[in-house]
Amino acid sequence: MDPAATSQISHLALDIGGTLIKLVYFSANGDHCEDSRSNEISVVHGKLCFAKFETKKIDDCLEFIRFNILHHSGVQHLNGMAHDKLSVKATGGGAFKFADLFKEKLGILLDKEDEMCSLVGGVNFLLKTVPREAFTYLDGQKEFVEIDHNDLYPYLLVNIGSGVSMIKVDGDGKYERISGTSLGGGTFLGLGKLLTKCESFDELLELSHHGNNRVIDMLVGDIYGGTDYSKIGLSSTAIASSFGKAISDGKELEDYQPEDVARSLLRMISNNIGQIAYLNALRFGLKRILFGGFFIRGLEYTMDTISVAVHFWSRGEAKAMFLRHEGFLGALGAFTSYKTQSHNDLKSNQHTVQRAILNCSGDNFRHIPVTSNLNDSETIECSISLV
Ligand SMILES: Nc1ncnc2c1ncn2[C@@H]1O[C@H](COP(=O)(O)OP(=O)(O)O)[C@@H](O)[C@H]1O
Ligand SMILES: CC(C)(COP(=O)(O)O)[C@@H](O)C(=O)NCCC(=O)O
C-alpha cells in the first residue's frame, strides 16, 4: 500500500485471535459525491481491505499499522485524563491481552467488542450486504446461495479458529453460544507441525493435498474383511478409526509419509467438527449451518469433508454453507460496530444499502450507509456516507 494514500483510510478494525490477527479497514478511492437524497450526506466510494498476520508476529502487524498510518483512522476517544486518544475497534482475546502493547507502541486504545457478538455481526453484514457471499460445496460443486433477508434466521454459525465456537443466531444481535470444541484449527496446525515437521499452515495444507488418509486411518472394511457394515449404514470405505492403522502397522512415525499424516489429520478434524455441528443443529432444529474461521481457507477438501459429514449425519436434512470472507467475520463485525444497530434498507447501485449510525463523538462520521459490491475474493467494493 502507498502510505501517501493513507489519508483516505478510515475505520480500522482488528480481530486478534489465538493464531491470527485480522484487519479490516475502509480505503476511499478519492471519489466523493453528495447524496441526492440529502445535501448533508456525502458518499465516499472505496473498498473494504483485509490483511492478516500471525499473532506470534504481532510486531509485524504493529509495523504495518504504523507504516500505513492506519492507527490514525480510529475515532477520538475522551479518556478520564481529559486527553484525546484515538481508539480502534478490536475483538478477540488479543484485544484484552495486547491492549497495553497497542497503547504503548501506537498510542491507541483498543475499543473492545465481544468476540461472539462480532462474529455474528460479521456474518449478518456479509449475508445482507455482499452478493454471492455464501455458497455450498458438495461433490466438487460450488453453488452460491442467495439468502432471502426475510428468511435469514435461525442458523448455526460454526467458527473454526484456533478452537471452535458454535453459535445459534436468531436475529441481529440475537444469538447464543451453544457449544464449542477445543479440537479446531489450532489442533490441526499444532499436531500437524509435531507430526510432519512442517513449518507453516500452507505447507501442511500442501502436504495434505498429496496424501492418502487410508494409509493411516482404519476403515470399516479393514475391520470387516473388506465388506460394508450395511446393517448400520457404514460402507467399507468409511473411516472407522482415525489414525487407527498406526496401532497395528508396526511402524514408527518416520515410516509414514508426512503427506498421509497431514491428510488424515485434516480429515479427522474436519469430520469431527462437521459431526458436532450437525448434532448441535439437531438439538435446536436448525437446518442451515454456516462455517467460518480461517481454518477453512476455501479449501475444497476441507469443505467437502465438512459437507459430507453434515449431509451424512443429517441424512440430507441439514446444509453446510461457507462464506467467501470466512476468516474475517470477527473483524468485519468489529468494523460494523463503529455504528449502532439502526438499519434502514435503501437501494443504491443495485445493491442493498445497510444504513447505520456511527457512535463516535467528535469526528465526521455519524451516519454510515454501506453499499457493497464484491469484485474479488478479498476486497469488497463499497461506499460509505458521511454526514
Ligand atoms: N497463514 C496461516 N497461519 C496460521 N494458521 C492459519 C493460516 N491460515 C489458516 N490458518 C488456520 O486458521 C486457524 C486460525 O483461524 P482464525 O479464525 O484466525 O482463529 P483465531 O482467531 O483463533 O486466530 C489456525 O489455527 C489454522 O488452522
Ligand atoms: C476461546 C475461543 C472462543 C477463542 O476464539 P479463537 O481465538 O479460537 O477464534 C475459542 O477457541 C473456543 O471457543 N474454544 C473452544 C472451547 C470449548 O468450548 O471447549
Q: Yes or no: say if 50 and 131 are a contact pair by the CB < 8 Å rule.
A: no
**pLDDT of res. 1:** 52
Query: Amino acid identity, residue 200?
Result: S
Partnered with residue 42 across adjacent β-strands are 34, 386
ipTM over 0.90: yes
More confident residue, 106 or 369: 106
What pairing do the DSSP bridges indicate for beta strands 339-340 and 345-348?
unpaired
201 lines ligand 1 (CB under 6 A): yes
Q: Ligand 2, atom 14: nearest CA belongs to which residue?
A: 163
> Tens of pLDDT along 157-195?
999 999 999 999 999 999 999 999 999 999 999 999 999
**pLDDT of res. 187:** 98
Q: Nearest to residue 3, comparing CAs of 105, 52, 84, 72?
A: 72
**pLDDT of res. 167:** 98
Size of the chain, expressed as the number of residues it contains: 387
Q: Which residue has the cell 482404519?
A: 218
**pLDDT of res. 341:** 33
Residues 6+ apart with CB under 8 A from 169: 120, 123, 124, 153, 154, 155, 156, 157, 175
Ligand 1 atom with least separation from CA of 327: 17
**pLDDT of res. 381:** 80
Angle at 64 between CA 338 and CA 354, to 5 degrees: 25
Burial category of 344 from C-beta neighbours within 10 Å (exposed 0-12, middle 13-18, buried 19 and up): exposed
Q: Nearest to residue 87, comparing CAs of 67, 68, 64, 113?
A: 113
What is the Å distance from ligand 1's center to 295 Cα?
5
> Tens of pLDDT along 267-299?
999 999 999 999 999 999 999 999 999 999 999
- Dihedral sign from CA coordinates of 16, 101, 75, 54: negative
Ligand 2: residues whose CB is within 6 Å? 17-18, 92-93, 115, 161-165, 180-182
- Residue 383: pLDDT above 90? no
**What is the secondary structure of 110-151 as a DSSP string?**
EEE--HHHHHHHHHHHHHHHSTT-EEEEETTEEEE----GGG
Residues 193 and 200: their CA atoms lie apart, in Å, by 8
**What is the secondary structure of 37-96 as a DSSP string?**
T-TT-EEEEEEEEEEEEEGGGHHHHHHHHHHTTGGGGSEEEE-TTS-EEEEEEEESTHHH
Q: How does the average pLDDT of the chain come out, rounded?
A: 85
**pLDDT of res. 133:** 92
Cell numbers placing 40:
448533508
Q: Yes or no: say if 51 and 1 are a contact pair by the CB < 8 Å rule.
A: no
- Residue 84: pLDDT above 80? no
Ligand 1 atom with least separation from CA of 21: 23
Q: Which DSSP state fits 260?
A: H
Ligand nearest to C-alpha 265: 1
| Lowest mean pLDDT segment, chosen from 234-243, 267-276, 311-320 | 311-320
Q: Ligand 1, atom 5: nearest CA belongs to which residue?
A: 201
Q: Nearest to residue 336, comparing CAs of 123, 138, 169, 152?
A: 123
Ligand nearest to C-alpha 201: 1
